[in-house]
Structure 1
């Protein structure tokens, strides 16, 4: 399957597929945002938002935006109401979804690896996210650490703010 994988930037033609994947992933949790909010996030930082194609069809997507550490997008606000800081040093992974039929094949890891490389090339020192729907163990297994002092409102009862250093940041930290 790896020969059929391609990660690319989002185009106008992708939005029907993205909205459908997002709705199936998050509606049951009460966290579905809808087309306008999703698109506002991608428009706010198009160079850090991607589609994963499998066999030339959208099979997943990732939306990430520069946000200061400890802050995150409000689900009920479009990004035109809050302008992220491009020089924050933190890239916030707002959303990552793989189509249901392709889950469990490591495709999210491809998107996460691509995001990590993108963050490092931009000079971001950290990647943050909010683990929703009891997904904290998944993100912990991928190197993210919880920050209990940050309580993400509006993301559900089990939401946890988490972050990890990018490889670039690891190189900047002096060894003991």
Structure 2
């Protein structure tokens, strides 16, 4: 899921920003960012479900000098399917498909290219870990952003009703 539509001016200084693995203290900020982005769409999952979709090797935060400025959660998931937002995931199973479940950038950092950088970082991880594809579900009118990142819609793919109307399954090759 992604809600990158709202653009606000970024803080003047984002020096020291880096992508790093998620650490335990990050979850409060991740949960706040997720709620602020998805609550208006009725898609908030809560911390337990978010944690279940954060595969350690493919999920990370944007650390802006000790503050979480964004995050990306991805996990191996069968191609053509997606997690149900109403329930946490069980154990992760091997798949050649990597599912980008969630990405949120702090509103104050949007419009600076961070979304594309996080996606590019995930593509690099996918390449080094021998994934073949990345999939996602576009919500909130973000399909244009995902198309610009190389994702193609698969409108015939059935989605859980929890994503709401207008959600679109999309994917792209990693190679």
TM-score (norm 2): 0.89
What is the alpha-carbon distance in structure 2 between the residues aligned to residue 151 and residue 73 of structure 1? Answer: 12
SS at match of 2:117: helix
SS at match of 2:145: helix
What is the alpha-carbon distance in structure 2 between the residues aligned to residue 100 and residue 156 of structure 1? Answer: 23
What is the alpha-carbon distance in structure 2 between the residues aligned to residue 15 and residue 67 of structure 1? Answer: 22
What is the alpha-carbon distance in structure 2 between the residues aligned to residue 145 and residue 84 of structure 1? Answer: 25
1:161 is the counterpart of 2:173: no
Higher helix share: 1
What is the alpha-carbon distance in structure 2 between the residues aligned to residue 158 and residue 71 of structure 1? Answer: 16
1:29 is the counterpart of 2:55: no
SS at match of 2:141: coil
What is the alpha-carbon distance in structure 2 between the residues aligned to residue 59 and residue 135 of structure 1? Answer: 20
Aligned to 1:172: none
TM-score (norm 1): 0.88
What is the alpha-carbon distance in structure 1 between the residues aligned to residue 103 and residue 145 of structure 2? Answer: 13
1:56 Cα deviation after fit: 2.6
Unmatched 5+ residue regions in structure 1? 168-176
What is the alpha-carbon distance in structure 2 between the residues aligned to residue 84 and residue 13 of structure 1? Answer: 23
1:79 is the counterpart of 2:89: yes
Could you report, residue by residue, the CA deviation over 1:129-173 in whole angstroms, capped at 9, with x for unpaired residues? Answer: 000011111111111000121021220101000000002xxxxxx
More relative contact order, 1 or 2 (CA 8 Å, 6+ apart)? 2
1:2 Cα deviation after fit: 6.7
1:143 is the counterpart of 2:150: yes
Unmatched 5+ residue regions in structure 2? 1-12
Could you report, residue by residue, the CA deviation over 1:74-105 in whole angstroms, capped at 9, with x for unpaired residues? Answer: 1011112xx3322x110000000001111111
What is the alpha-carbon distance in structure 2 between the residues aligned to residue 55 and residue 158 of structure 1? Answer: 36
One of 120, 126, 130 as aligned partner of 2:127: 120
Q: CA RMSD in A?
A: 1.2
Aligned residues: 162
